[in-house]
Copies of this chain bind each other. A is one copy, B any other.
Amino acid sequence: MPPRYLDTREALLDAGEIVATYHGLAGLSVNRVVAEAHVAKGTFYVHFADRDAFLDAMHARFHARVREHVLAAVRDLDPGADLLERATAAYLDVCLENPAVKALAVEARGDPELSSRFAERSASLGTLSEPSFIALGWQSPKIAARLYQAMVSEASMLELEAAKRLPAVRRTLNAWLRAGAPIAAER
């Protein structure tokens, strides 16, 4: 049997996801989280230094899930359009399974304090795709990677609204991915 310590910590993070689903980042209060997790308020501070540390932990857990699935999806693939297509599909699938945290990540972008906390983790995903944009011949692979990530993130929001995979959206993403490079390289 695993120590109860980890159970409670995970239960708080789970509760955070449920609260975020219904109330967004602004409504993600310690009060609501402990109520949802059915633990005392003080228990929250046994596991997290403060509210910000809790949000950070939520983001870290989500990011770890994304990273794991994406890495598994592209294992043994060389940088290029195929890798990006597979990575994108894996990313969109994970987001569909974690709707609350995905929305939270979007919302956090506007908060100066939070966005800097989350930035490093998010950037590490960009690093993963950059070699592929180099391989595709983009003149500014870093920029292309970041703009592409923005499209994928938007695609994820569309899928979350629909609560299911949207093949037309994924097809459009893919078309942009495979067509964009040549002309950029010509410039």
* Residues of chain A having any CB pair with chain B under 8 Å: 22-26, 103-104, 106-113, 138-140, 143-144, 146-151, 153-155, 157-158, 168-169, 171-173, 175-176, 178-184, 187
Q: How far is the CB of A177 from chain B (nearest CB, A)?
A: 9
The CA of A22 and the CA of B112, in the complex, are separated in Å by 8
Q: For A175, list chain B residues within 8 Å (CB).
A: 139, 180, 183-184, 187
The CA of A113 and the CA of B187, in the complex, are separated in Å by 44
Chain copies in complex: 2
The CA of A106 and the CA of B112, in the complex, are separated in Å by 12
The CA of A180 and the CA of B179, in the complex, are separated in Å by 5
Q: Which of B25, B147, B172, B183 contacts A151 (CB under 8 A)?
A: B147
Chain A binding surface SS class: helix
The CA of A2 and the CA of B109, in the complex, are separated in Å by 38
B179-A183 in contact (CB<8A): yes
B154-A147 in contact (CB<8A): yes
Q: For A150, list chain B residues within 8 Å (CB).
A: 150-151, 153-154
Q: How far is the CB of A5 from chain B (nearest CB, A)?
A: 31
A146-B154 in contact (CB<8A): yes
Q: For A146, list chain B residues within 8 Å (CB).
A: 154, 158
B140-A147 in contact (CB<8A): no
The CA of A25 and the CA of B109, in the complex, are separated in Å by 10
Closest 10 CB pairs of A and B: A107-B110, A150-B154, A179-B183, A175-B184, A147-B151, A176-B180, A143-B172, A24-B111, A150-B150, A179-B180
